[in-house]
Amino acid sequence: MDISTVNSLCYEDFVDTFGNVVEKAPLIAAAVWSYRPFANLSDLEAHISDFIDNLPESGKEGVLRCHPDLAGRDLQRGTLTRESQEEQSQAGMASLSPEETTRMHHLNAEYKRRFGFPFVICAKMSDKAGILRQLNERSGNDLTKERECAINEVKKICCLRLRNLVLSDTRNKL
C-alpha cells in the first residue's frame, strides 16, 4: 500500500495492519494513528520512534518484554508471530544444531536473568554467528546501556516491518 492508503485507513484497520510492527504492541500503532496524515513512510517511522523514545524506562522495558527469545520455546512450538517466525528463520535460528540450541537457551536465560527482558536484535540484519556474538558482548553492558541498545534494535525491526507494508516513496515513483 502507499502512504495515501495508509492515511485513509480507519482506526481499526490501521491497528490491524500496523499492530505488530513493534512486536505484540498494538498500543503503539493505536497511539500513532492520531498523527495522520503522514507525509511519507519516514514520517510514520519517526512518529513510532518518537512514541517509543517518550516512554518511561518501565514502558521501554515492557516493549522489550513483548519480544520472544531467539530460538526459544515459541519458535520450537510454532507460536511466534508470522513476522518473528520469518525473521528468526532467515537468521538461522530455526536450524540450529542441538549444541547451538543449548547454548542459545543458556545465553538467553542468563541475559534475561541479568536484565529482566529478552535479548532483542534485528535478526533480519544478522545471522546466527552475529546474533551469538552480540548476545555475548551485550550481556556485559549495564542495564541503561543495554536497554538503549535493545530499543534501537526494536526500532530497526519496526522500520523493516513498516517497509514490508508500505511502499517507499522511491518505489511509488517506479
Domain boundaries, the chain: 1-167
**Is cis: bond before 118, omega within 30 of 0?**
no
Q: How confident is the model at residue 171 (pLDDT cuts 50, 70, 90)?
A: low
| pTM given for the model | 0.93
What would the pLDDT profile of 67-125 be if each residue is shown by its tens digit?
999 999 898 898 999 999 999 999 999 999 999 999 999 999 999 999 999 999 999 99
CA distance 60 to 55: 6
Considering only residues 170 and 103, tell me which one the structure prediction assigns the higher pLDDT. 103
CA distance 16 to 143: 33
What number does CATH give the domain 1-167? Answer: 1.10.3330.10
What would the pLDDT profile of 12-47 be if each residue is shown by its tens digit?
999 999 999 999 999 999 999 999 999 999 999 999
Q: How confident is the model at residue 169 (pLDDT cuts 50, 70, 90)?
A: low
Closest CA to 103 of 60, 64, 132: 132
Distances in Å between the Cα of 48 and the Cα atoms of 44, 92, 128, 132, 156 are: 6, 28, 28, 28, 11
Q: Which three cell numbers stand for residue 24?
A: 505484540
Alpha helices in the chain (DSSP H): 3-8, 11-18, 26-33, 41-53, 57-65, 73-77, 82-90, 98-115, 128-138, 143-165, 169-173
Catalytic position from the list 47, 67, 105, 106? 67
Mean pLDDT, the chain, whole residue set: 94
Closest CA to 157 of 132, 126, 134, 117: 126
Helix (H, G, I), strand (E, B) or coil at 165: helix
Query: Taking CA 143 as the corner, what is the angle to CA 138 and CA 147, rounded to the nearest 5 degrees?
Result: 75
In the annotation, is 67 catalytic? yes
Between the CA atoms of 145, 147, 148 and 150, what dihedral angle is there, to the nearest 10 degrees?
120
Q: How confident is the model at residue 174 (pLDDT cuts 50, 70, 90)?
A: very low
CA distance 84 to 173: 30
